[in-house]
């Protein structure tokens, strides 16, 4: 007979694993991916594939040749980064190869340089995106209009749809009256990055994650809630200068950011109170950057800034002790 195992208790383990969590997040991102392909055609699919493949490849190469540690690509975290990265770029043809650079930055600088999954202080996908936004501002803000019919990829493969602008870009340049229909925003029939256009698809994924208890409601609700309330106050103060709150939360990256990026376990606080503050900070910074910053969109910066605060939030907000 084999030798008996000996270890400290407990001797059983729940069926949770990092791998399971990451693949479930990937599953939650699928509806958004489908919508992106439906609206932006083959480009969207190619960008996503290239992004995921290069993230996985870079992680494998770094682990194999630089860190010389066993490979962890199977845990699916590189796939998550790849998908989120793809969701954060416009669906233009150039992006199909530019996203490789973004993937390298996200994986090499955003994640592996800190020691891999779990040790990165910033969301790797956002690190990649912000790098691109600063290095390739033109390419990163050239938005194709979503295709006229849902299967545009069949009728006009890989050709860019007419170049348009995001609702936020339009508003930034032309004022509030440029805002469109809330229903379009909700479904995602608007210009924008791959994954941020359809609030509906994002919500489906987020509800799945909530049911699986991979995310809790605290960060999305306080993020979106803060953005809604803060922009609502501004809108009530001056309806001609500020966007109405519903448009605010449905346009740009707030939905995607609040549901999938700010809730990244590694870079967000652990306690519920900390998460509420984290979400509040994200919402507040987003609105400030949108209204008074140079960029029309501020979600990535807001989340990265709050990522930097996460260790402090973890220190300030401790769980309530049973025995006190």
Interface residue list for other proteins (CB under 8 A): 1-14, 16-18, 20-21, 72, 75, 115-119, 265-266, 270-271, 318-324
Cβ proximity to other proteins: between 100 and 265 the closer is 265
The residues facing 143 across adjacent strands are 164
DSSP 8-state code for residue 261: I
Least Cβ distance, residue 313 to other proteins (angstroms): 12
Our CB check for other proteins shows the closer of 69 and 135 to be 69
The smaller minimum CB distance to other proteins, of residues 219 and 227, is found at 219
Distance CA(151)–CA(147), nearest Å, equals 8
CA pseudo-torsion sign 45, 46, 49, 51 = negative
* Cα separation, 83 vs 95, whole angstroms: 14
> What's the min distance (Å) between Cβ of 260 and other proteins?
15
Q: Which residues have CB under 8 Å from 306's CB, separation 6+?
A: 262, 268, 278, 281, 282, 285
Which is nearest to 197 in space by CA: 189, 205, 206? 189
Cα 285–Cα 190–Cα 208 angle in degrees, nearest 5:
70
176 vs 266 by CB, closer to other proteins: 266
Question: Smallest distance from the beta carbon of 5 to other proteins, in angstroms?
Answer: 5
**What does the alpha-carbon distance between residue 280 and residue 266 come to, in Å, rounded to a whole number?**
18
Residue where the block lists tokens 């990163």: 140
Neighbours of 233 (CB within 10 A): 12
DSSP letter at 73?
G
What is the nearest approach in angstroms of other proteins to the Cβ of residue 146? 35
Residue 10 preceded by cis peptide, ω within 30: yes
Least distance from other proteins to the Cβ atom of residue 4, Å: 5
Measured from the CB atom, the residue of 12 and 134 that comes closer to other proteins is: 12
Supply the minimum distance, in Å, between the C-beta of residue 317 and other proteins.
11
**Beta carbon nearer to other proteins, 33 or 117:** 117
């Amino acid at each position: 007979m084999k030798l008996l195992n000996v270890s400290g208790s407990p001797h059983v383990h729940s069926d949770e694993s990092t791998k399971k969590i990451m693949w479930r997040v990937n599953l939650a991102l699928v509806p958004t991916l489908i919508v992106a392909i439906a609206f932006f055609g083959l480009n969207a699919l190619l960008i996503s594939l290239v992004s995921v493949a290069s993230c996985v490849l870079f992680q494998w190469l770094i682990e194999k040749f630089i860190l010389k540690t066993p490979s962890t690509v199977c845990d699916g975290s590189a796939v998550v980064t790849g998908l989120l990265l793809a969701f954060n770029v416009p669906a233009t043809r150039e992006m199909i190869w530019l996203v490789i650079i973004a993937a390298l930055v996200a994986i090499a600088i955003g994640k592996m340089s800190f020691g891999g999954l779990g040790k990165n202080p910033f969301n790797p996908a956002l690190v990649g995106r912000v790098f691109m936004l600063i290095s390739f501002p033109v390419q990163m803000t050239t938005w194709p209009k979503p295709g006229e019919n849902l299967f545009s990829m069949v009728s006009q493969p890989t050709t860019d749809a007419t170049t348009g602008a995001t609702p936020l870009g339009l508003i930034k340049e032309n004022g509030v009256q440029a805002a469109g229909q809330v229903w379009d925003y909700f479904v995602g029939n608007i210009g924008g990055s791959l994954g941020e256009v359809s609030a509906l698809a994002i919500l489906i994924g987020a509800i799945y994650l909530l049911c699986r208890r991979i995310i809790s409601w605290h960060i999305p609700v306080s993020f979106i809630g803060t953005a809604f309330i803060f922009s609502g106050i501004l809108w009530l103060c001056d309806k001609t200068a500020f966007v109405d709150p519903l448009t605010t939360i449905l346009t740009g990256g707030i939905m995607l950011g609040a549901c999938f990026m700010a809730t990244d376990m590694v870079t967000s606080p652990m306690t519920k109170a900390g998460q509420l503050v984290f979400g509040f900070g994200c919402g507040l910074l987003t609105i400030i950057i949108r209204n008074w910053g140079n960029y029309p969109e501020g979600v990535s910066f807001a989340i990265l800034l709050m990522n930097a605060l996460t260790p402090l939030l973890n220190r300030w907000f401790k769980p309530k002790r049973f025995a006190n």
